Every structure is written in structure tokens, then in C-alpha cells.
């Protein structure tokens, strides 16, 4: 950190000598004993025989006088150095400098963090400004194109608009096919057709029953999508035996499908397009 070069190296020799530490502790114990003796004397001054009716008031008045006297005494005294031992003073000075250094390093870290946050905010605002400029340029281009189109004959304008609409529809169809292919590849890779262990277990129960043919997760989604698009007023599909239960639970748990509120054997696709 930049602030560390302005501070002396106080971490290497911070250990206080044993004799100086013991001397400081002895002086503190002596001062504490003197304070206890003064407190005991003040308490004894207030212990006088009083009339019962005026006991509480007299006790309070005595405490006020004692505190006033103590306050006046402290006002007359000037601060004294706890110890004159140079080793003790050196150790205390080093400890205080270490605290100041830690506080300054904490302040520096906070300032650097705040500066980093401000830099990130500035970069984000600059990106947003650049995007707005690009949008403005695009809108200006559309405006110029619209003005040019308005100068063309009405028939040619309608023909051009129809062609652009056809191109957009074609692009949407191609994009739809790309999405479906990508979805199919993803589902085939990560959610393959379940193993035929389930049907084998059922065959153990009854050798006469045919093996159950399970469908893939891709096919389940296609059924739900087609049902939702063909009959949006009744989008629920009945869960058949060909639906693998783990896949149904996966769709329900992650909110892709919803169960019928009254019939748990029917599910529907979540209407993400609404």
C-alpha cells in the first residue's frame, strides 16, 4: 500500500520488555488501590445516623456533596504520566502507532474499494451511452429510409413492404428451426432416452405384458407445446405410461410444466409466451 511507506516499521520491535511491563502493571495496581481507598473514605463519610423520615434525602445530599468534592479535586489535578520508564513509553508509543497504521490501512482499503466501484459504474455508464448512440444512429437511418420510401409510388412501396415482410417471416422460420434443432441436440445429449430397465422390471411381474416403450423428454415437450398452441383454452395433457416419471417430476419441479389443480394425472406447459 502507498500509505505504508510514510509510516515507520513498527512491527518488528513491538514486544515490550518484561521488566517494563511488570513495572507498568505494578504502577496500575498501586493507582487502583489508591482509588479504592478514596472510594471507601467517601462511603464512610455518608454513613451517619439519620432520622427515618429524612434518610433518603440526606443520603442523596451526602452523595451529591461527595461527588462535588471529587469533581473539584479532579479539576485541580493535572494529568500525570503513568510511567517515566523509557522502555514502557517506547512500547506504548509503538502500540499506538500500530493502531494508527491499521486504521489508515483500513481507510485506504475502503477508499480503493470505493474507487473500484466508481470505475465500474463509469464503464457501465459509458457502455450504456454507446448503446444509446447506436440506437439513435439506427433510428436516424430508419427515418431517412422512411422518407425515401414515401417518395416512391404507392404500388412499389406496397410491393417492397410485402417482400420485406416475407423475408422477415422466412428469417423467423429459419430461426425457429435452429432453436428446435438446438433444443433437440441439447435434450438428446443431457436427457437421453431412459434405459429399458424399468420395462424389464415390469416384465418380471408378468411375462405376457409387452415391454413399455418410453418416449424422450424432447417428445414430451413437443406434445405439451403442440397442445398449448393448438388448444390454448384446454392445454392439459394426460400423463400416459410412456411418460417417464423422473422427466415429469423434473418439468414440474423447475416450473416448465404445471399440474392440473383438480386432476394430478394431467399437466400443461407453462405459458411463457403470455
Q: What is the DSSP string of 46-63?
A: T-----GGGHHHHHHHHH
Could you tell me which residues come within 8 angstroms of residue 244 by beta carbon, excluding any fewer than 6 positions away? 194, 198, 214, 215, 217
pLDDT < 70 positions in the chain: 1-18, 45-54, 78-83, 149-157, 194-212, 273-274
3-state SS string for 89-150: HHHHHHHHHHHHHHHHHHHHHHHHHHHHHHHHHHHHHHHHHHHHHHHHHHHHHHHHHHHHHH
pLDDT at 204: 44
The pLDDT value recorded for residue 203 is: 44
Q: What is the pLDDT of residues 150-185, one digit of tens each?
A: 665 655 657 778 888 989 989 988 888 888 788 878
Span 198-233, pLDDT tens digits = 443 444 444 444 456 888 888 888 899 888 888 888
Domain boundaries, the chain: 2-118, 189-269
Quickly count: other Cβ atoms within 10 Å of residue 47's Cβ.
Answer: 9
pLDDT at 205: 46
> Could you write out the DSSP letters of every residue in 237-272?
EE--TTS-HHHHHHHHHTTSEEE-SS-TTEEEE--T
pLDDT at 68: 87
Q: What is the pTM of this model?
A: 0.36
Q: How far is CA 193 from CA 181, 225, 239, 244, 256, in A?
A: 17, 19, 17, 9, 19
Is 89 exposed, middle or buried (CB count within 10 Å of its CB: 0-12, 13-18, 19+)? middle
Coil vs helix vs strand at 274 = coil
What is the distance between the alpha carbons of residues 158 and 152, in angstroms, rounded to a whole number?
10
- Using CB atoms within 10 Å of the CB of residue 5, give its burial: 0 to 12 exposed, 13 to 18 middle, 19+ buried: exposed
Cell numbers for 150: 414515401
User: How confident is the model at residue 8, as a pLDDT?
Assistant: 47
Amino acid at each position: 500500500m502507498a500509505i505504508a511507506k510514510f509510516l515507520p516499521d513498527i512491527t518488528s520491535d513491538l514486544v515490550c520488555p518484561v521488566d517494563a511491563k511488570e513495572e507498568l502493571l505494578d504502577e496500575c495496581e498501586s493507582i487502583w488501590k489508591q482509588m479504592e481507598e478514596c472510594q471507601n473514605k467517601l462511603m464512610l463519610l455518608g454513613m451517619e445516623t439519620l432520622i427515618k423520615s429524612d434518610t433518603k434525602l440526606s443520603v442523596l445530599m451526602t452523595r451529591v456533596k461527595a461527588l462535588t468534592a471529587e469533581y473539584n479535586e479532579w479539576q485541580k489535578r493535572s494529568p500525570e504520566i503513568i510511567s517515566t520508564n523509557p522502555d514502557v513509553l517506547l512500547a506504548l508509543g509503538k502500540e499506538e502507532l500500530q493502531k494508527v497504521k491499521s486504521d489508515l490501512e483500513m481507510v485506504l482499503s475502503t477508499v480503493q474499494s470505493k474507487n473500484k466501484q466508481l470505475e465500474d459504474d463509469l464503464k457501465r455508464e459509458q457502455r450504456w451511452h454507446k448503446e444509446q448512440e447506436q440506437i439513435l444512429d439506427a433510428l436516424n437511418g430508419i427515418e431517412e429510409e422512411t422518407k425515401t420510401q414515401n417518395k416512391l409510388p404507392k404500388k412499389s412501396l406496397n410491393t417492397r413492404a410485402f417482400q420485406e415482410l416475407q423475408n422477415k417471416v422466412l428469417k423467423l422460420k429459419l430461426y425457429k428451426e435452429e432453436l428446435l434443432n438446438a433444443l433437440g441436440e441439447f435434450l438428446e445429449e443431457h436427457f437421453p432416452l431412459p434405459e429399458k430397465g424399468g420395462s424389464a422390471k415390469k416384465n418380471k411381474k408378468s411375462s405376457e405384458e409387452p415391454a413399455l416403450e418410453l418416449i424422450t423428454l424432447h417428445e414430451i415437450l413437443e406434445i405439451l407445446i403442440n397442445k398449448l398452441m393448438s388448444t390454448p383454452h384446454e392445454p392439459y395433457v394426460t400423463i400416459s405410461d410412456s411418460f417417464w416419471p423422473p422427466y415429469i417430476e423434473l418439468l414440474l419441479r423447475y416450473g416448465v410444466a404445471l399440474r392440473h389443480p383438480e386432476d394430478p394425472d394431467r399437466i400443461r406447459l407453462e405459458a411463457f409466451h403470455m
